[in-house]
Structure 1
Amino acid sequence: MIGCLCLHGFTGSPEELQPLTERLQRKKGWLVYTPVLPGHGVGEDIGEAEGAKWIYTADRAAEEMLKHVDELYVIGFSMGGMLACYLAAKYPVKKLVLLNAAAYYVNRPQMVQDLVASYRGSENPWLDLVNDKRRETPMTAFYQFIKTIRLMRPFVEGVTSPVMIAQGMKDILVPEKSATYLFEQIGSKNKTLRMYEHSNHFLCHDVEQDLVIRDVEHFLKG
């Protein structure tokens, strides 16, 4: 049996990966699991969440899945991508997929470009969602996010699994330098970097959704 552990992003939910996870769940002999990180569930207060608990939740999920599957794949989106790097450095992860993984965060030039475009009537449909999340998220939670990213970065060099790194070139939250940093620093000899020219942060829901999902499937099956 193949296990596929999927990790969502900061302030997000399993829905961020849903189009991809639904496709993978159709595969016979695949166990697909997307845990909800502490503070991100319905009725939970993200302002009370701790980065250590996010790490612990991902760690326990990988440990448990390895007891029941023959091979473990890990897919991480945004902050979940950095948690995925940690798992791949610690456990025998067969393949790793990083979707807009947040080794670095906030793409200010793209954000300014989108703001200017919105004033000219060509609005980025994701801009309002991003701004709403930013306004609603307490500073204590942002601090835990930054702390978690910094804790995860040293594990990048320890990743030896085959890895696919995917980056939306119009992402206003995670800049391109995050993807290039991961491609250069990850220790694996088998790594692929795919840049999606028209996609923003939410790769699995944006205009190149079908291409992203196809590329991930091809990588995992290949």
Structure 2
Amino acid sequence: MVGCLCLHGFTGGPFEVQPVADYLRARTDWEIAVPTYPGHGELLHLRGVKQARWVEEAERAFLALRQKHDTLYVVGFSMGGMIAAYLAAKYQCQKVVLLSASAFYLNPIHLQDELSAWLRMKQSHAPHDEWMYKQYWHRVTKTPVSALFQFRKLVKALKPSFSQITAQTLIVQGKKDGLVPLKSAHYIYETIPSDQKKLLYLKDSRHMICHDVNSEELLTEVYTFLQER
């Protein structure tokens, strides 16, 4: 049986990758694990939490799956993509999926642009867009500077992992991502030595790729990639 770990991003929670987890659960008999890092989730309590604890929680969940399953997949979104790369390099899992992986730092100016875009959508009164805007706004107002420092420290520490990945890899990023620059996906693709890798750009998606307009395409691509022999 397959064990699949889905990892959320910085200041986020399982909801960020829930569409992927739900899609896979509905179509497979795999065990899907979606851990929450310390200080993360619906209520953020990031002050004083070290980045090593985020990595440790993801690693704990991965090792729990490894005790039960021979085939292991890791799906990581944003900062979760960095942790997924670390786990794939260290433990040699079979497949890894990197969604909007933050190999380069999030830019506060880009964040403002991203929020402005979601605000315009919020004003359209679409329930999903309004929910997404609230998620972003909650993060902006509840994230201490110390947590941003820990995020940058994590990225710097785990970035070398890409050059050690031998697993089959799918890299996906939205072309309208206002948080992680497009060069991040290109850098990851060029750095991973595996010859079994694919880079996909979703033309209308922003950073929250699992919840955006190309989400159905994304879910199909991830499922197909993980099912392939």
User: Normalising by the residue count of structure 1, what TM-score does the alignment of the two structures yield?
Assistant: 0.90
Deviations 1:115-151 (A, max 9, x none): 78789x6779556643442232000111111100110
Q: Identify the match of residue 192 of structure 2 among 144, 164, 186.
A: 186
Q: Residue in 1 aligned with 2:93?
A: 93
> Is structure 2 residue 61 aligned with structure 1 residue 55?
no
Q: Residue in 2 aligned with 1:69?
A: 69
Asked if structure 2 preserves the Cα contact closer than 8 Å seen for 1:7 and 1:35, the reply is yes
Q: Residue in 2 aligned with 1:24?
A: 24
Asked if structure 2 preserves the Cα contact closer than 8 Å seen for 1:107 and 1:171, the reply is no
Asked if structure 2 preserves the Cα contact closer than 8 Å seen for 1:169 and 1:200, the reply is yes
Residues in 2 aligned to 1:96 and 1:201: alpha-carbon distance in whole angstroms? 19
Q: Residue in 1 aligned with 2:227?
A: 221
Which residue identity does 1:48 align to in structure 2? G
Q: Residue in 1 aligned with 2:207?
A: 201
Residues in 2 aligned to 1:103 and 1:61: alpha-carbon distance in whole angstroms? 22
Residues in 2 aligned to 1:165 and 1:201: alpha-carbon distance in whole angstroms? 14
Secondary structure of 2:17's match? helix
Deviation at 1:48, TM superposition (A): 2.3
Question: Which ranges in structure 2 are unaligned for 5 or more consecutive residues?
Answer: 124-128
Q: Compared with structure 1, are the counterparts of its residues 13 and 191 closer, same or farther at alpha carbon in structure 2 (3 Å cutoff)?
A: same
Residues in 2 aligned to 1:44 and 1:134: alpha-carbon distance in whole angstroms? 11
Equivalences for residues 140-155 of structure 1 within 5 A: 140-155=146-161
Equivalences for residues 36-55 of structure 1 within 5 A: 36-41=36-41, 45-55=45-55
Secondary structure of 1:201's match? coil
Residues in 2 aligned to 1:42 and 1:107: alpha-carbon distance in whole angstroms? 23
Q: Residue in 1 aligned with 2:143?
A: 137
Q: Compared with structure 1, are the counterparts of its residues 68 and 78 closer, same or farther at alpha carbon in structure 2 (3 Å cutoff)?
A: same
Which residue identity does 1:164 align to in structure 2? L
Deviation at 1:188, TM superposition (A): 1.2
Secondary structure of 1:182's match? helix
Residues in 2 aligned to 1:53 and 1:167: alpha-carbon distance in whole angstroms? 26
Deviation at 1:41, TM superposition (A): 3.9
Aligned-residue CA RMSD (Å): 2.3
Asked if structure 1 preserves the Cα contact closer than 8 Å seen for 2:114 and 2:179, the reply is no
Asked if structure 2 preserves the Cα contact closer than 8 Å seen for 1:114 and 1:123, the reply is no
Q: Identify the match of residue 163 of structure 1 among 166, 169, 180.
A: 169
Secondary structure of 1:84's match? helix
Deviations 1:34-90 (A, max 9, x none): 001111145561112110111111112211211101200000000000000000001
Matched positions, count: 221
Question: Which ranges in structure 1 are unaligned for 5 or more consecutive residues?
Answer: none
Which residue identity does 1:156 align to in structure 2? F
Secondary structure of 1:153's match? helix
Q: Compared with structure 1, are the counterparts of its residues 214 and 49 closer, same or farther at alpha carbon in structure 2 (3 Å cutoff)?
A: same
Deviation at 1:92, TM superposition (A): 2.4
Asked if structure 2 preserves the Cα contact closer than 8 Å seen for 1:13 and 1:40, the reply is yes
Q: Residue in 2 aligned with 1:81?
A: 81
Asked if structure 2 preserves the Cα contact closer than 8 Å seen for 1:196 and 1:208, the reply is yes
Q: 98-107 or 76-85, which moves further after superposition?
A: 98-107
Residues in 2 aligned to 1:8 and 1:51: alpha-carbon distance in whole angstroms? 14
